[in-house]
């Protein structure tokens, strides 16, 4: 757990640099859909720790991959995620702390939950009575899961599909990543903005879409050489009208 001093310092630096919202990604080892009892129990404990630290730091969002239900049905996997989050957050005042969990859409690997917007929506809806919850949509994951976002018409149709399922207003964060792999390939490999199979233009359409004005945009691009992260963020900023 970060110390009280560290938490105060975090708040001070966020004010100083005007950094809002603070979005934390849950450890990738956490699998709340896991069949194995030990993995499931450890995931609940680890996820509770994530929520406690996010509350201490005053973060706004905690991004969670819904997990893998390998060894059971998808329906059982969904039920475990909801039960696990319910148990993990018991007694923690997320609403009072201004913290919400964002369910991220995934690339579509076998047994992984959440590659279809309908599945993200289903989880968000089931969790709504339990915790403050919304969604995080990743451009690379959407593209490799088979959603067309590389043409303006395709992106408009994908946004309409998102609005009809998750609801655009519930998407608090977008992960802006170009992709190394083809649309529909289900391969989750991030690429620098404008250098992958998505290309530069779709990021401009996203960043300037008035329907998404409430959302935060975050790059999760690779750092192959020093400064790559800054260059990718600058590439995105350069697209904003
Ligand atoms: Zn992501
Ligand atoms: Zn990814």
Q: Where are the domains of the chain?
A: 4-235
Condensed to tens digits (0 to 9), the pLDDT of residues 115-137 reads 999 999 999 999 999 999 999 99
pLDDT at 231: 97
What does the pLDDT read at residue 28? 92
Tell me the β-bridge partners of 174. 137, 217
Q: What is the pLDDT of residue 160?
A: 98
Within 10 angstroms of residue 4's Cβ, the number of other Cβ atoms is: 9
Pairing of strands 190-191, 178-179: antiparallel
How does the average pLDDT of the chain come out, rounded? 97
Ligand 1 centroid–CA 220 distance in Å is: 6
Q: How far apart are CA 206 and CA 135, in angstroms?
A: 16
Query: Using alpha carbons only, how large is the chain's radius of gyration in Å?
Result: 18
Percent of the chain with pLDDT over 90: 99
Predicted confidence at residue 11, as pLDDT, reads 95
pLDDT of residue 32: 98
Q: Which ligand is nearest to the CA of 108?
A: 2
Span from the CA of 88 to the centroid of ligand 2 (angstroms): 24
Peptide linkage before 21 cis (omega within 30 of 0): yes
Q: What ligand has the least distance to the C-alpha of 64?
A: 1
212 Cα–ligand 1 center, Å = 17
CA–CA separation, 219 vs 138, rounded Å? Answer: 10
Ligand nearest to the CA of 217: 1
Ligand 1 centroid to 186 CA: how many Å?
14
The residues placing their C-beta within 5 Å of ligand 2, an ion, are 188
What is the CATH T-level fold of the domain 4-235, as seen in this structure? Answer: TIM Barrel (3.20.20)
Ligand nearest to the CA of 173: 1
Q: For 193-224, what is each residue's pLDDT tens digit? A: 999 999 999 999 999 999 999 999 999 999 99
Collapsing DSSP to helix, strand or coil, 112 comes out as: strand
pLDDT category at 145 given cuts 50, 70, 90 is very high
Average pLDDT over residues 23-38: 97
Q: What angle do CA 176, 200, 234 make, to 5 degrees?
A: 65
Q: How far is the CA of 27 from the centre of ligand 1 (A)?
A: 12
Global model pTM greater than 0.85 = yes
How many A from CA of 219 to the centre of ligand 1? 8
């Amino acid at each position: 757990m970060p110390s009280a001093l560290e938490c105060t310092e975090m708040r001070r630096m966020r004010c100083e640099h005007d950094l809002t919202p603070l979005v934390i990604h849950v450890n990738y080892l956490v699998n709340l859909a896991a069949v194995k009892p030990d993995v499931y129990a450890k995931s609940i404990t680890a996820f509770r720790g994530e929520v406690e630290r996010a509350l201490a730091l005053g973060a706004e969002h905690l991004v969670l991959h819904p997990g893998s239900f390998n060894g059971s049905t998808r329906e059982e996997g969904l039920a475990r995620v909801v039960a696990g989050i319910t148990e993990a957050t018991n007694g923690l005042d997320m609403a009072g702390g201004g913290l919400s969990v964002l369910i991220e859409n995934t690339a579509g690997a076998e047994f992984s939950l959440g590659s279809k917007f309908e599945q993200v929506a289903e989880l968000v809806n089931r969790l709504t009575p339990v915790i403050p919850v919304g969604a995080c949509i990743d451009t690379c994951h959407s593209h490799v899961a088979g959603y067309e976002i590389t043409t303006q018409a395709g992106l408009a149709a994908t946004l309409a599909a998102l609005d009809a399922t998750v609801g655009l207003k519930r998407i608090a964060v977008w992960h802006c990543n170009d992709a190394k792999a083809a649309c529909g390939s289900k391969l989750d490999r991030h690429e620098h903005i404008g250098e992958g199979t998505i290309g530069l233009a779709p990021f401009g359409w996203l960043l300037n879409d008035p329907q998404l004005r409430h959302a935060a945009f975050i790059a999760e691009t690779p750092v192959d050489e020093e400064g790559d992260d800054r260059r990718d963020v600058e590439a995105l900023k350069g697209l904003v009208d």
